[in-house]
Amino acid sequence: MTAAVSFSKVSRHFGTVKAVDAVDLTVAPGEFFAMLGPSGSGKTTCLRLIAGFEQPTSGEIDIFGESAVGVPPYRRNVNTVFQDYALFPHLNILDNVAYGLMIRGVGRAERHRAAEQALEMVKLPGYGTRKPGQLSGGQRQRVALARAFVNKPKVLLLDEPLGALDLKLREQMQEELKGLQRALGITFVFVTHDQGEALSMADRVAVFNDGKIVQTGTPHDIYNRPKTRFVADFVGSSNVIAPQAMQALGGEARWTSLRPEAIRLVSEGGVNATVRSTSFLGASTKLFVDTAIAPLALSLPAGQPAPQEGETVLIAWAPADLHTMEDAA
């Protein structure tokens, strides 16, 4: 099967700065692929390389089997949805959505018909006569999606499109984006620094750091089997235990990840710990405890009584919840 997007040893340098450093990646047709990482990790530059807004310093980029190196953005069958939506304030919603079709020379009646269908797809029927300033943030985000869908791209690029929304609306739009992607079958490449977004929406996730991909896998693999300390710490919350501490706990002398929710309070047979602090999070309570070997964090589900600060407790975990990692940071 021909990949929707493939990078082969792609680099992008800005002077001495290696924004992207010899990246290999493959995105399958119809896949929801997330590029996750902190600011400056290279994920957005990779998105811009796919879009054609940047050209690689070296390496090869293919889109559905055809080389994209040197090909301008308007000749690529991709569309980009930006965080700020980039809607034209002087145009009504229908003309905003139909803008790409107008540029391609599609007649007014035909492009408006296609734009109305796209607005129905994103649950905004009848909004065509309004201006962007009359819509909420979530509605403007839907218009930006409709404007991308109307061009029927093979690949849709999304550059942190939910970043400007409040938490409740962001969670709602995550579900809607997933549903739209499944219904349309379009390849989505989604850039985010929010690990919750990546884990909840993507089929696969590539974790970026310092211009490189440090791990690619399903959300389940990335969360439960992090390859490095960076992935364990960045994707969710984890106790990263040093080799000497693991050895003192009776385990293998390797860097090890232990998720807070895997640790439980027990009445006997556990490790002695002193509660340093607690944080009530609604659905759970997070405890920070000190042991003779290492400080640890654990998460108690809602409804389970939490010990008080300064209290001594016994904690335990299953051997299967300990995940050893590579020595690389």
Considering the domain architecture, whether residues 200 and 253 belong to the same structural domain is answered as no
Spatial separation of the C-alpha atoms in residues 271 and 289, rounded to whole Å: 11
Asked whether residue 257 falls in the same domain as residue 139, the answer is no
- Residue 218 inside a domain? The answer is yes
Same-domain check for residues 201 and 250: no
pLDDT at 136 over 70: yes
- Do 159 and 209 fall within a single domain? yes
Pairing between strand 187-192 and 32-36? parallel
Strand partners, 26: 6
Shared-domain flag, residues 83 and 219 = yes
Give the CATH number, domain containing residue 269.
Answer: 2.40.50.140
Whether residues 216 and 84 fall in one domain: yes
| In a shared domain, residues 17 and 157 | yes
Q: Position of tokens 């009848």? A: 126
Q: Is 309 in the same domain as 183?
A: no
Relative to beta strand 239-241, strand 212-217 is: unpaired
Q: What span, in angstroms and rounded, lies between the C-alpha atoms of 77 and 156?
A: 9
Instruction: Give per-residue pLDDT as tens, 106-132.
Output: 899 999 999 999 999 888 998 999 999
At residue 161, the pLDDT reads 77
pLDDT in tens, 254-308: 999 999 999 999 999 889 999 999 999 888 999 999 998 889 999 999 888 889 9
* Number of domains composing the chain: 2
Q: Please tell me whether residues 250 and 227 are part of one structural domain.
A: no
Domain of residue 310 covers 239-324
Give tens-digit pLDDT for 143-200.
988 998 888 899 999 998 777 677 777 788 888 888 888 888 899 999 999 898 899 9
Report the C-alpha gap between 81 and 97 in whole angstroms.
12
Do 146 and 280 lie in a common domain? no
Among the candidates 211, 231, 251, a domain finishes at: 231
- Residue 71 domain-assigned (yes or no): yes
In a domain, 329, yes or no: no
* Numbers of helices and strands, H then E, in the chain: 9, 18
If you average pLDDT over residues 198-218, what whole number do you get?
A: 96
Beta strand pairing call for 312-316 and 295-301: unpaired
Which DSSP state fits 140?
H
Q: DSSP strand E in 172-211: where?
A: 187-192, 204-209
Question: Of the candidates 215, 231, 247, which is a domain's last residue?
Answer: 231
- Domain match, 29 and 158 both: yes
Residue 113 is part of a domain; what is its CATH number? 3.40.50.300
Rounded Cα–Cα distance for residues 130 and 68 (Å): 37
Does one domain contain both 175 and 245? no
pLDDT digits (tens, 9 = 90+) for 77-109: 999 888 777 889 999 999 999 998 998 888 999
